Amino acid sequence: AAFSILAGIAGPAGGHLSDRYDRRAVIVGSLILAILGFVPLAAGGSVAAFALGVVLLAVSSGAALAALIAQAGDLTPPGRQGTVMGLLATVSDVGLMLGPIVAFGLLPTIGLSAVYGMCILACVVGLVLALWQARHPKATVPPPDGAT
């Protein structure tokens, strides 16, 4: 419940920051927060470290979602918004469903720390992609067929 509350607070705040300053900066910052949040979870240890990780991941999740949705809207030409937003929602739902299934399947083999390590790796890949996209701002969704 605490995760959802914190993410719910961070979402509008992240959206505001992405409107006022820069969407990519919020996305990059959110990925860095996620990496920092997974580190104490991967390390194990105290309840306080676990709580810190959860707080950082909740803030990261809420802020990133708002900025990603806004950026998808920015990069999508008129006539494609429904398709792109539908794809974004579907991919998010599939990830939210498959992530725990894959993690649970790997848990007996590689252990909890390694599962969180894989989460860190996924965030690093996302960070590299976000930084690449920042250097290639013309990377947009093509207009629908027949549109100019």
- What are the pLDDT digits (tens) for 35-86? 999 999 999 889 999 999 999 999 999 999 999 999 888 888 888 889 998 9
Mean pLDDT within 103-118 = 92
Residue 12: which pLDDT band, with cuts at 50, 70 and 90?
A: very high
Mean pLDDT within 99-110 = 92
Q: Which of 67, 69, 61 is nearest to 3 (CA)?
A: 61
> Distance (Å, rounded) from C-alpha 148 to C-alpha 68?
25
